[in-house]
């Protein structure tokens, strides 16, 4: 027979045991930032501040994520899906503004959470600086310059690429017997005729050609601004 005092003690121990073994309440789910409003993007002629925008897209030639500092530098086939970073309208952490720019500007970029590009090598996250979440422009992966001896603009191009720490391959059309055929091959892939490839320097930036020297245009193609 269990005495009353013993019964009270047993009940207390049972209550203590069941409390200790019960499942702890789950932590509350993390707070998710509210969906930001869509971003309306105007042409630079209408909004001079648009010059600070960075555009990210999948390059149709390399199949990888690339960047541009000007809308005109985005290849037409890549404009259907572009991540737009405007430092004046930064999205909350984990969000990106993604736009279909096939019809040009103005356009509206829709906010998408945890956006990822689909590239030839798989799925790619947007690259961000840890502190601010700002999209990082990435330099071109392949720069080839065709030059000749005594070309002043070739020297300007050489110094510009070196100053901006852009790795490049230089082929001298007068000294290197393989330079001419290589130029014709790259020009043909880019849809250019031999007549289009007159004058130096001739640069191919990720396969995109530029005949002559235009620092502003080279900066755009490299995603360096300017």
**Is 212's pLDDT higher than 70?**
yes
For residues 127 and 102, give the distance between their C-alpha atoms in angstroms, rounded to a whole number: 23
The pTM of this model reads: 0.50
Domains and CATH numbers, the chain: 39-125 (no CATH), 143-222 (3.40.30.10)
Helix/strand/coil for 222: helix
Closest CA to 67 of 48, 54, 79, 80: 54
Whether the pLDDT of residue 25 is over 50: the answer is no
Q: Report the distance separating Cα 84 and Cα 55, nearest Å.
A: 5
pLDDT bucket at 21, cuts 50 / 70 / 90:
very low
CB 57, CB 128: distance < 8 Å: no
Comparing CA positions, the residue from 37, 105, 53 lying closest to residue 223 is: 53
| Helix %, strand %, coil % of the chain (to 5) | 30, 25, 45
pLDDT digits (tens, 9 = 90+) for 140-197: 468 899 999 999 999 999 999 988 888 889 999 999 999 999 999 888 888 888 888 8
pLDDT digits (tens, 9 = 90+) for 101-144: 999 999 999 999 888 888 777 777 776 655 556 676 555 468 89
């Amino acid at each position: 027979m269990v005495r009353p005092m013993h019964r009270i003690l047993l009940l207390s121990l049972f209550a203590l045991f069941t409390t200790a073994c019960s499942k702890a309440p789950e932590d509350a789910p993390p707070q998710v930032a509210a969906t930001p409003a869509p971003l309306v993007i105007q042409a630079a002629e209408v909004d001079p501040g648009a010059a600070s925008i960075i555009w990210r897209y999948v390059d149709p030639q390399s199949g990888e994520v690339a960047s541009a500092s000007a809308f005109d530098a985005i290849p037409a086939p890549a404009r259907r899906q572009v991540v737009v970073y405007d430092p004046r309208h930064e999205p909350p952490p984990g969000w990106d503004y993604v736009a279909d720019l096939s019809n040009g500007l103005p356009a509206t970029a829709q906010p998408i959470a945890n956006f990822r590009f689909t590239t030839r090598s798989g799925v790619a996250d947007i690259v961000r600086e840890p502190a601010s979440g700002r999209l990082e422009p990435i330099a071109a992966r392949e720069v080839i310059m065709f030059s000749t001896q005594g070309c002043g603009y070739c020297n300007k191009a050489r110094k510009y690429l070196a100053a901006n720490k852009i790795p490049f391959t230089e082929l001298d059309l007068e000294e290197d017997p393989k330079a001419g055929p290589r130029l014709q091959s790259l020009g043909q892939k880019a849809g250019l005729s031999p007549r289009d490839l007159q004058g130096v320097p001739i640069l191919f930036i990720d396969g995109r050609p530029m005949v002559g020297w235009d620092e502003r245009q080279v900066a755009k193609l490299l995603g360096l601004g300017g």
